[in-house]
Structure formats: structure tokens, C-alpha cells
Amino acid sequence: MKGQDSSLALSVIGAGHVGLVTAACLAHAGHHLVVVENDPGRLEMLRQHPTRMPIHEPGLAEMVERVMRAGPGSLRFTDRIPDAVADSEAAFICVGTPQGERGEANLYYVERVAAEAADALVENGRPDFVLIEKSTVPVRTGEAVRRTVERVLARRGRPDLRFEVVSNPEFLSEGTALKDFLFPDRIVAGVESPRGEVLLRRIYEPVLSGRFDWTGTRPSKHPVLLVTDVQSAELIKHASNSFLALKISYINAMANVCERSGADVREVARGMGLDPRIGPSFLRAGVGFGGYCFPKDVAAFRRLSEELGYRFDLLGQILEINDGQRRLAVEKLRKALWNLRGKTVAVWGLTFKPETEDLRGSPSLEIIGRLLDEGARVRAYDPAAGPLPNGLEERVARAASAAECAHGADAIVLVTEWPEFLGLTDEELKAVQARMNYPVFLDGRNAFDPARLRSLGFEYLGIGVR
């Protein structure tokens, strides 16, 4: 792909999950990328061992290796925004937007990048630069970025330097981020002028036309490039994440109704999902959503709507139902074991979903915290998770396997549906059951067939299942 006339010089500011995936995929698609990272440790790691990624994302290290092998200049790392501005036509802003005290997104890093980029535009006398928001930001951040850059340009006597702000939200899921980037359903481009649209079309041309090779299934349909104004693009991201979270909370609320009415939420979800207007995805009931995105984004959107003068109470309910699912898991264990105090609970799965080592917002951590508060002993096993945060590591015994974790326990609670758990054979599960003190199995993801576990001797409990 390299050396084609269509390749562009681009930069990515922030070598986090989104930044690294964006940079690797765009370099793989034939562009030349400069990545700016201001954390010295992370930068050193990327410079010295570019293929040893600071984040866990399947395929990313291989892709970076391939890009690096294809030729010098495809992908390089720096800590200087001025280098990025000098050597590229457009910069993707991929810095973090952590959650503030009242749920709002903290845009300090976005503002700082905008101001530094503006300084660099002045120093390079660079017109027509494009700043592309990729981080999840509240609606109207584009306007704020524009104002920040304009102020710096005015202060430094170069108000004549034209630039454009584009919103190009990411829709990457952890664990499938490469596929999500290279084979998306849609690419959203919120632009200020036709120039922004032309640039985004050029950047994504290899993705839009599917003109590159990478492992994995190539969908038959080409993605849609949706061009909108900046605010609408920003809102599409909020609206999409909140709607997906809503689907999960809706089916979890249904699970509660199912439990009280004798129905089975898996059947209800199947029946709902067959209606193409609803669709089957994100209707898996369980202990609720976690991760860095949904809990933070829904809270930020709620806060933002309030600031805009609209009380979007539905968003609050999404979060309340989600919290309730964690409490429900503990209640179910309490009901099954009578007293939790002094009981040993084996927790299967710590990460917020399978195929990641990310513990942020993980339902497991909340459930473990509650179990410990009630005096239970907790033993946990996860195939990928590192040390637990918030002082939990010292309070939780870590096992080396699912079977060891359950040995002598009074209950198992499955919180993350890792394939390793789902792949256990009847013999292996039977052996697990035989070595438990009480064979209570709380399936927090409705991942197992209840009849199968019951036939193996477990006291099976699901979420809204019979």
C-alpha cells in the first residue's frame, strides 16, 4: 500500500487505546503517521519496542510490526505536538476525557492539545490544518476547540491562519478494535466545510473501498460515510453509546420482570431480537455493563443534557438499573447461602468483558467489594486481569485456574464469560462441583445452559432465567 499518491501525512495525539488503534490502522491503510505521547514511560516503550503494545488489543502488535517492516516513516513516535503539526496535514485528537466529579467529561487535555497545536500552527506559519476530534467529547467541544485555537492565533498575531475542526467519533470496542476500525458499518464525519469532507474521504478511502488486506472476515457491504455538521457528529457518539447501554438496561429490567413472572429472559430477548426494528444485539441480560465507556459516557451525557437545559431522566435510569444488577447478584448469593459472612465465594472473571485485561468499571470489582463488605471471603480467577485496584488486591485471594478458584468454595459467581469457562467439559465441571463446599453456581452472564449445570449437580442460578 505504501508509496501510493493517495497517502497522507497524518498525526495522532495520544497513544491510548483509540490513538494506537487509529494510528496503526491508518498506517496499515497506507498513510504516514506521527504519534504524539507525553507520558515519558509509554513513549520510551513505543520508541524502543514499538511492537510491544502498552495496551492489550488482539492483532495490534502484529499490525504495528507489519507497518514498521513495510518501510521507515510509516509510523513514528514523538512527545512534541509541534512535530506533528509540522509533519502532517491533520491531527486526530485521541487524548483521554476522564470523568469529573459530577459525571461530566474532563476536557482539560483536549483544551491543552488545541492550544499547543495552535502555537505550533503559528510557529510553522501553517494554514489549513485540520484538527479531528476522535476522543469521546461532549457536544459543542468542536466549538470550544475552535475558540481556543482562534484565541491563540489572535494573541500571537496570526488570526489569518485558516484551520478546520472535524468531529470523527470512534466506534471501537475493546477486543475487536482493529476489525471495528477497518470494517466499520459507518464512518461519521462532522465537518465545518467541504474541505473537511474531502480530507476525511481521502483519509478513509482505503477503508471505504476495502482496498487493503488484513485477516478476518471482510463484510460484503462497504461502510457508509455519513457527513454532518460538527455538533450532530458529536451527538451521534453520545446517542449511540447511551442507546446501547439502554438496550442492556432494558433487558436487565425485563430479566427482573421475568424472575417475578416465571418467564425466561433469554426467550424474551430472542423474541424481541427477531424484529429487525429491534435487532438481537446488546440484549444479553446479566450483571450489567461495565468498561471505561458506557458508565462514563452515559453519566457525562446526562450531565451535559442537564447543562443544556434538558433533564434526560431516562439516562439516570439506565445507570440505576445497571447498579441494581450488581446488587442483585449479591442478593442472590445471600439468598442461596443464607449468611455471606464467613462463606467463600469463587469469582470467575474480573475484566469488564472477555478478551481484554481492562478492569475499569468492571462489575466484578463492585460485586467483590460488596461481598467483602458483608464478610465473605473472595477467591478470584481471571485469564488476563492484572492486579486489582482500590486496595482489593490485598483482600482477594487469586487462584491460578477456574477449578482451583472453586475448590472448597460455597458458591461460584461467573461475572465475565471468558471462552475458557464456557469451554469447560462436563467432566471438568463435574470435578469442580465435586470439590465445592456448596455447589451454588450464579451465572451472572446467563452464559451456561441451566439444564446442563443442574444435571451436573450444581444449584444453578441465572439472571431472569428459569
Binding site for ligand UGA (CB under 6 A): 136, 170-174, 241, 244, 248, 282-284, 286, 288-291, 293-294, 297, 352-353
Shortest reach from residue 283's CB to ligand UGA, in Å: 6
Count Cβ atoms below 10 Å from residue 143 Cβ, excluding itself.
13
Return the ∠ at Cα 395 (arms to 389 and 400), rounded to 5°.
85
Task: Tell me, yes or no, if 25 is annotated catalytic.
Answer: no
Shortest reach from residue 47's CB to ligand UGA, in Å: 26
Q: Which is nearer to ligand UGA, 81 or 465 (CB)?
A: 465
Q: Nearest CA to 370 among 338, 334, 398, 394?
A: 334
Sheet with 129-133: list strands edge to edge.
75-78, 32-36, 9-13, 90-93, 129-133, 163-167, 186-190, 224-228
Shortest reach from residue 99's CB to ligand UGA, in Å: 13
| Spatial separation of the C-alpha atoms in residues 229 and 236, rounded to whole Å | 11
Task: Calculate the CA dihedral of residues 45, 48, 50, 52 and round it to 10 degrees.
Answer: -60
Question: Which amino acid appears at position 249 of this protein?
Answer: S
Helix (H, G, I), strand (E, B) or coil at 348: strand
Shortest reach from residue 224's CB to ligand UGA, in Å: 16
What DSSP character marks residue 58? Answer: T
Shortest reach from residue 284's CB to ligand UGA, in Å: 3
Q: Which is nearer to ligand UGA, 116 or 174 (CB)?
A: 174
Query: From the candidates 25, 94, 293, 405, which is the catalytic residue?
Result: 293
Q: Which is nearer to ligand UGA, 7 or 364 (CB)?
A: 364
Which residues share a beta bridge with 99? 105
Q: Nearest CA to 94 among 137, 49, 148?
A: 137
Which residues share a beta bridge with 34? 11, 76
Q: Which is nearer to ligand UGA, 353 or 377 (CB)?
A: 353
Shortest reach from residue 202's CB to ligand UGA, in Å: 23
Helix (H, G, I), strand (E, B) or coil at 215: coil
Alpha helices (H) in 374-438, listed in sequence order? 402-406, 419-422, 426-434
Q: Which is nearer to ligand UGA, 155 or 186 (CB)?
A: 186
Q: Which is nearer to ligand UGA, 171 or 212 (CB)?
A: 171
Q: Which residues are catalytic?
A: 293
